[in-house]
Amino acid sequence: MKERIIETIRLQKKYVTDTVETTALAGVDIQICSGEFVAIMGPSGCGKSTLLNILGMLDTPTAGSLKFMGTEIASATEHQRANLRKENLGFIFQSFNLIDELTVQENVELPLFYQGLPKAEIKKRVDAALERVGIAHRRSHFPQQLSGGQQQRVAIARAVVGRPGLILADEPTGNLDSVHGREVMTLLSELNEDGATIVMVTHSPSDAEYAHRTINLLDGQVITERIHATSAAIAL
Amino acid sequence: MFKIYFLTAWRSLLRNKSYSILNVAGLTLGITCSILLFLVIKYELSYDTFHSKADKIYRATTVSNYREGEARSSAAHYPLAELLRSNNNLGFANLTQVHGEEGGQVNILGNDGNAIKRFKEDAHIGFVEPEFFDIFDFETGANDPAQSLSEPNNVILTESIAQKYFEGENPVGRLIKFNNKLTLKVTGVIPDLPSNTDLPFSLFVSYKSFVDYSPYGDAKSWSSLSSTHHLYLVLPEGMTDKRATADLNALIKNHIPDKGANLPQETYALQPLSDLHFDAVLGNYSNRTVAREVIWSMAFVGLFLVIVACINFVNLATAQAIKRAREVGVRKVMGSSQLQLMLQFLGETFLITLTATLLSVVLTELVLPYLNELLELEIAFSILQDPALLFFMVAQVLLVTLFAGLYPALIMARFQPIAALKSRINTQKVAGLSMRSALVVLQFTICQVLIICTILVNEQMEFFKSKSLGFNKDAVVTVLLPTGEGKKLMPLRQELANHPAVRKVSLSSAPPSANITFTGNFKFDNSSEDVPFHANYKIADENYIDLYDMKLLAGRNYKESDSVAYVINETMRRKLGIESPSEAINKTIALGNGEVKGYIIGVVEDFHQNPLRDPIDPSILLANPNNYWFLSAKIDMNNKQEALQHLEKVYNKAYPDDVFDYEFLDESIARFYQDEARQNKLFKIFSIIAIFIGCLGLYGLVAFMAAQRTKEVGIRKVLGATMFNITVLFSKEFVKLVLIAFILAVPIAYYLMNKWLQDFTYRITLDYWPFILAGVVTLIIAIITMSSQAIKASLTNPVVSLKSE
């Protein structure tokens, strides 16, 4: 049996303002194992992004349990979460979120800098990551000089360069046309085949098809889970 | 790691060019001003600090204790030096006496003893003892003053004076004549003195020559004091100035004669050398003092300018923070800690500050010559050879980085990553909107205080120029006459007046307002007791009152035929307790110890003998041809050249060995206020710069807000808003802040200026209009600054602005 990377039990998230209390997650129980490619789907406002943010330790739950590699982290401090994030997670965003002032290469180097790796190691890993996503020839370009698909490939290189245990992707094709979208999804699939665990939030059923399993959310709750036939062998 | 921070910072500055330019420009101006002011302050504080015994050197000054208070003088009695030397056991033997003069006639003599060149010398001439160079560490080069100043009639020249007189020839052994009195042999040349000394002599005459030069040369009397005669001494190791003063006063007690109950008893006070440059009352040989308050105000102005520039930075950086939100989010997601982010943003501030400082160095280099000219200083700017300056600049870079960068860095590093990534951070959410408002208020308070102070200082300066002095100073030429040729004077006066362009001529001890004053004791109304205050004597011929348009209130002017007749001023009349001017007539006055008795024959309206800082003295006008050193000529300004030519011709005929030199009285009176005038110019320049920096910041802030509110402007325009409405919308907030700043600035400026004006006996009253003017000017400048941006925003096509989000 594969190692369980993430496990949530009755995970809740509520946003409270002066007059309104909004429940974004109303008791979510999910497990994600190493090597899995999981898609999270659901209509706008169902809580997918909130769930992804909590799984990515960018946000904290209001109640419930969140275990990462078996350790309870629901009430971890910002500092602890930052360290876990740095060492174990890679992020891919719908709007790429590359830093405009940095070149392709420098953007990809960024997580390794924060990990404090030696220069030579950084160079080796960045070269490999850029080669892997097929953007090495554009390493000195700035993000604005690239197409959307190329920018997302840079973002993917940045997400994998630190060799994270888990890659979290928030609508990775949301800002791309269908051709570039397919390219990105193929790349993610390949990464998954190479061993990366991926959790992806998406609106697109066709993108979800690339995953082994789809979790459907509605009003902050898991309503269905579907294991894709082609990948049944890997699931659970 | 640092390289990537540096690169991000650099590229971010390039991407936001206008923001960077505003920040760098504001900081460059602020830092340049602070460097300039630092240099000025450091220069003023450096006067005579380079002597190795500086902290042990004191000037013996006298204090006359009147019933109405005390009067201080920089002078020491002539026999004091001799007394101290002969009482060696007290430990005061390490001393030097100095007689200093500013300028004089210097003739260069040829081999036959005749003058081959004549100079009206402006430089300072000091009669000094050889010990002068033991006490003060002036470079003497190869010269040994103990040798070259040991004999009478010797003189040492500084290099530049030697060059001026002898143009490259060897001056040693040559003869010069000083004031047509003393023939001096040049016995040495020493390097020029540094400019930051209050003993700025260019010619050092051996003190032994003073006997032949001045009637006081071998004075044994303890009754006269001259502010040109100083005594400097070095306190022995371990002796406090308090003990030394007590010892000194105990010693002189038996020597200073008791002048009776009504006259002041004189005591000594030791004044540290470090005080000389800051004591305007006692003054010094350089005639240049700076009040410590002025040093403090310069320091504060410098500090305020940097603060105003830093506030710009904080305001622009926190406003711009939104643009950087996504980057902060990404970095946090990639694993950056808050501390790392803060260091990154502080690094960027450091980069901007460093750039601004480097630009400031260039700007300082360019501006310093003008400042030196304006302030008549010789300040050098060489960072690498000036550790204090280097330290100041490094410290300033670090402090500005912290002061300007810490708050924005803290704000940005605290962004929540999700909100930052989703662009959910907007101007309102960035903590600091109220902080920004507070800073804008602070900035404009500083600006308005500076404007109000500048207007009021300027007004006081104008008041100096325009206040009626009780006499007419216009079109009057004054000429200092060579001394000691009394009998020549009357025919000279006649001949001088003998030209249509010369209207009136008068001879006197000094013009009505002058640096030179003669004071003395006197008896009144046949009393045998001295009057308990001194009178200011104006020794002048019968043309004086008429030439200067002084107004007679009672009695008449004296005539040449009057034996002993006095004209007094109103202050004198009042102080003598005489009810009305007419009652003063025929009352007796006996000058000095009663030898010269005469009658009051006239009373004139008060006139100012002193700068307007000081009150009007009780004065006596009297004639005495032996004391006429000044020639005053009222000339026809339409024929100015002819009049001056005539004066020169007559003068040269009468005094062939002297060089004719004249001065217009209104110009010499204006020089009374040159220190204030210089400070006025300095403050004017710096307050304009402060406002400019403040407006740069305001411009940036409004430009940014306009960009942020593009969509709002679009919607408002679609709904019918006019350009005026949009301008009002943008200006409202800032106008409120400027008004709050005004309310804060008024009491601060009122307090400061009231304190400053207290130093002047004759001063302007604090009116409300300079305050209102400052408020209005700031408001107008602020509105103009804001309007340009508001108009730009309102001219944007609403279709475009609505698409912007």
Question: Does residue B697 contact residue B512 with C-beta atoms inside 8 Å?
Answer: no
Per-residue b/e over B447-484, b at no fewer than 16 CB within 10 Å? bbbbbbbbbbbbbbbeebeeeebbbbbebbbbbbbbee
Residue A113 sits at the chain B interface (C-beta within 8 Å)? yes
Q: Which CATH architecture has domain A4-231?
A: 3-Layer(aba) Sandwich (3.40)
Is residue B58 in some structural domain? no
Banded model confidence at residue A229, pLDDT cuts 50, 70, 90? low
Q: What's the mean pLDDT in B28-57?
A: 94
The predicted pLDDT at position B430 comes to 54
Is residue B445 in some structural domain? yes
| Res B398 pLDDT > 90 | yes
Q: What's the mean pLDDT in B224-230?
A: 84
Q: Which helix (H) or strand (E) holds B596?
A: strand B596-604
ipTM, interface predicted TM-score of the complex: 0.78
Tokens of A195: 């061993």
Phi, psi of B11 (to 5 degrees): -70, -35
Does the beta-carbon distance from B7 to A106 stay under 8 Å? yes
Q: Which of B404, B415, B251, B249 is nearest to B331 (CA)?
A: B415
Question: Does residue B730 contact residue B786 with C-beta atoms inside 8 Å?
Answer: yes
Q: Which candidate from B329, B334, B417 shows the least CB-CB separation from A110?
A: B334
Share of chain A above pLDDT 70, in %: 96
Banded model confidence at residue B354, pLDDT cuts 50, 70, 90? very high
Tell me which chain A residues have a C-beta less than 8 angstroms from the C-beta of B338.
78
CA separation for the pair B101, B105 (Å, rounded): 11
Does the beta-carbon distance from A106 to B4 stay under 8 Å? yes
Exposed, middle or buried: residue B53 (CB in 10 Å: 0-12, 13-18, 19+)?
A: middle
Give A88 to chain B, closest Cα distance, Å: 10
Share of chain B above pLDDT 70, in %: 95
Residue A56 sits at the chain B interface (C-beta within 8 Å)? yes
Q: Which helix (H) or strand (E) holds B659?
A: none
Residues B710 and B602 in one domain: no
Biggest alpha carbon distance in chain A? 54
The predicted pLDDT at position B48 comes to 96
Least confident range of A110-114, B252-256, B276-280, B446-450: B252-256
Phi, psi of B68 (to 5 degrees): -85, 0
| Res B193 pLDDT > 90 | yes
Residue A189 sits at the chain B interface (C-beta within 8 Å)? no
The predicted pLDDT at position B760 comes to 82
Banded model confidence at residue B320, pLDDT cuts 50, 70, 90? confident
Does the beta-carbon distance from A97 to B7 stay under 8 Å? no
| Res B712 pLDDT > 60 | yes
Question: Does residue B730 contact residue B580 with C-beta atoms inside 8 Å?
Answer: no
Best of B7, B13, B332, B334 to substitute, by most chain A Cβ atoms within 10 angstroms, is B334
Q: List the domain range (segments joined by +) for residue B803.
A: 432-473+678-805
Does the beta-carbon distance from A97 to B330 stay under 8 Å? yes
Least confident range of A115-124, B165-174, B679-688: B679-688
DSSP string, B458-481: HHHHHHHHHS--SS--TTEEEEEP
Report pLDDT digits (tens) over A189-213. Answer: 998 998 889 999 998 999 999 999 9
CA separation for the pair A120, B627 (Å, rounded): 94
Q: What's the mean pLDDT in B597-612?
A: 90
Banded model confidence at residue B486, pLDDT cuts 50, 70, 90? low
| Res B623 pLDDT > 80 | yes
Is residue B150 in some structural domain? yes
The predicted pLDDT at position A236 comes to 39
Residues B439 and B407 in one domain: no
Tokens of B528: 């045998």
Residue A141 sits at the chain B interface (C-beta within 8 Å)? no
Residues B221 and B300 in one domain: no
| Res B626 pLDDT > 60 | yes
Residues B499 and B355 in one domain: no
The predicted pLDDT at position B313 comes to 86
Per-residue b/e over B694-718, b at no fewer than 16 CB within 10 Å? bbbbbbbbbbbbbeebbeebbebbe
Is residue B269 in some structural domain? no
Q: Which of B628, B637, B668, B283 is nearest to B513 (CA)?
A: B668
The predicted pLDDT at position B620 comes to 93
Strand partners, B98: B128, B230
Report pLDDT digits (tens) over B725-740. Answer: 888 887 888 888 889 9
The predicted pLDDT at position B800 comes to 64
Does the beta-carbon distance from B4 to A109 stay under 8 Å? yes
User: One-letter amino acid identity for B636?
Assistant: D
Give B332 to chain A, closest Cα distance, Å: 8
Strand, coil or helix: what is B99? strand
Tell me which chain B residues have a C-beta less than 8 angstroms from the C-beta of A91.
333-334
CA distance to A46, A96, B421, per residue, from A175 (Å): 20, 9, 15
Q: Which candidate from B327, B335, B418 shows the least CB-CB separation from A99?
A: B327
Does the beta-carbon distance from B329 to A97 stay under 8 Å? yes
Tell me which chain B residues have a C-beta less than 8 angstroms from the C-beta of A110.
4, 330-331, 334
Report pLDDT digits (tens) over B570-603. Answer: 999 999 999 999 999 999 998 877 777 889 999 9
Tell me which chain B residues have a C-beta less than 8 angstroms from the C-beta of A106.
4, 7
The predicted pLDDT at position B802 comes to 62
Residue A111 sits at the chain B interface (C-beta within 8 Å)? yes
Strand intervals (E) in chain A: 4-16, 21-33, 37-41, 63-68, 71-72, 89-92, 166-170, 197-201, 213-218, 221-227
Does the beta-carbon distance from A114 to B327 stay under 8 Å? no
Does the beta-carbon distance from B421 to A97 stay under 8 Å? yes
The predicted pLDDT at position A31 comes to 92
Banded model confidence at residue B259, pLDDT cuts 50, 70, 90? low
Tokens of A39: 């898609």
End-to-end CA distance of chain B: 35
Residues B647 and B513 in one domain: yes
Q: What's the mean pLDDT in A147-159?
A: 90
| Res A235 pLDDT > 80 | no
B612 or A145, which is more confident:
A145
Q: To the nearest 10°, the Cα dihedral for B133, B134, B135, B141?
A: 40
CA separation for the pair B355, B339 (Å, rounded): 24
Average pLDDT, chain B: 87
Q: What's the mean pLDDT in B103-130?
A: 91
Give B11 to chain A, closest Cα distance, Å: 6
Strand, coil or helix: what is A32? strand
Residues B688 and B767 in one domain: yes
B695 or B599, which is more confident:
B599
Banded model confidence at residue B426, pLDDT cuts 50, 70, 90? low
Tell me which chain A residues have a C-beta less than 8 angstroms from the C-beta of B11.
101-102
Residue A102 sits at the chain B interface (C-beta within 8 Å)? yes
Tell me which chain A residues have a C-beta less than 8 angstroms from the C-beta of B417.
58
Does the beta-carbon distance from A114 to B326 stay under 8 Å? no
| Res B258 pLDDT > 70 | no
Banded model confidence at residue A232, pLDDT cuts 50, 70, 90? very low
Strand partners, A7: A31, A67
Q: What's the mean pLDDT in A120-136?
A: 92
Q: For B194-198, which contacts have Cβ atoms below 8 Å and span 24 or more sequence positions?
A: B194/B50, B195/B377, B195/B378, B196/B43, B196/B46, B196/B47, B196/B48, B196/B50, B196/B378, B197/B47, B197/B48, B197/B138, B197/B286, B198/B47, B198/B48, B198/B276, B198/B277, B198/B284, B198/B285, B198/B286, B198/B288
Question: Does residue B105 contact residue B180 with C-beta atoms inside 8 Å?
Answer: yes
Q: What's the mean pLDDT in B388-397?
A: 95
Residues B364 and B305 in one domain: yes
| Res B144 pLDDT > 50 | yes
For chain A, what are the domain ranges?
4-231
Does the beta-carbon distance from A83 to B335 stay under 8 Å? yes
B327 or B232, which is more confident:
B232
| Res A188 pLDDT > 60 | yes
CA separation for the pair A43, A216 (Å, rounded): 9
Strand, coil or helix: what is A193? helix
| Res A234 pLDDT > 60 | no
| Res B178 pLDDT > 60 | yes
Give A66 to chain B, closest Cα distance, Å: 19
Q: How many domains does chain B have?
A: 4
B275 or B674, which is more confident:
B275
Mean pLDDT comparison of B14-28, B247-261, B699-713, highest-scoring range = B14-28
Banded model confidence at residue A16, pLDDT cuts 50, 70, 90? confident
Residues B112 and B247 in one domain: yes
The predicted pLDDT at position B88 comes to 79
| Res B478 pLDDT > 60 | yes
Tokens of B324: 């950087």
Does the beta-carbon distance from A114 to B340 stay under 8 Å? yes
Tokens of A18: 């002066």
Q: Which candidate from B7, B326, B337 shows the least CB-CB separation from A97?
A: B326
Smallest CA–CA distance from A78 into chain B, residue: B337
User: One-letter amino acid identity for A197?
Assistant: T
CA separation for the pair B54, B308 (Å, rounded): 38
Q: Which candidate from B1, B330, B335 shows the least CB-CB separation from A82?
A: B335
CA distance to B203, B264, B520, per residue, from B261 (Å): 43, 8, 16
Tell me which chain A residues have a C-beta less than 8 angstroms from the C-beta of B1.
113
CA separation for the pair B530, B591 (Å, rounded): 9
Residues B135 and B213 in one domain: yes
Q: Which candidate from B7, B327, B421 shows the least CB-CB separation from A93?
A: B421
Q: Which candidate from A58, A86, A111 shows the least CB-CB separation from B418?
A: A58
Does the beta-carbon distance from A93 to B337 stay under 8 Å? no
